[in-house]
Amino acid sequence: MPEIATFDALKAEAAFRFLQDGRHIGKVVISLPRELDTIYSPAHLSCRTLQFEPAGSYLLIGGLGGLGRVTATWLVERGARSLTFLSRRAQSEENAGFIGELEAMGCKVVAVSGAAENLEDVERAIKESHAPIKGVFHMVMALEVSPPSPP
């Protein structure tokens, strides 16, 4: 029957060190307490919430689709106060409502119609931004559904 080495959850590092040694035979088990919130990791104590520079602007290329909208909202919730979108459909009616939502959250929004592969469009997006660009998020995505291969 294989041996079982059991380590308390607070000593998980010791369990990994035991495995790292390579001389064990059997199983290594980390036992968890009934109340998991009693386990505190130093990583949890040192975590900080990511904050974005409110005085800067963030350029989202193609950021008006599903992933881009979630990312834009996430940026504003974490301090971004100026977003610039460079998208082929930036000025569409369907994007006006979303841009209005971002503005209601206290964000200045610039929507530039264009493409990232066109230098003039990129330069126009940078020029029209309300503040210096502090970060770029490339959110362009194309999904294609292929028919299934025959068996």
Q: Report pLDDT digits (tens) over 12-50.
A: 888 888 888 777 778 888 888 777 666 665 555 555 678
Q: What pLDDT is stored for residue 63 in this prediction?
A: 83
Assess whether pLDDT exceeds 80 at residue 75. yes
pLDDT per residue as tens digits for the range 112-148: 999 999 999 999 999 999 999 999 999 887 667 777 7
Where are the CATH 3.40.50.720 domain residues in the chain?
57-138
Q: H helices of 1-151, where? A: 12-21, 42-46, 66-77, 93-104, 119-128
Instruction: Report yes or no: 133 and 126 within 8 Å, Cβ to Cβ.
Output: yes
Q: What pLDDT is stored for residue 19 in this prediction?
A: 81
Instruction: Report yes or no: 92 and 112 within 8 Å, Cβ to Cβ.
Output: no
Q: What pLDDT is stored for residue 23 in this prediction?
A: 75
Band (pLDDT 50/70/90 cuts) for residue 109 is very high
Please give the CATH topology (third level) of the domain spanning 57-138.
Answer: Rossmann fold (3.40.50)
Q: What pLDDT is stored for residue 125 in this prediction?
A: 96
What are the angstrom distances between the C-alpha of 44 and each of 14, 37, 47, 48?
Answer: 19, 11, 5, 9
Global pTM value: 0.65
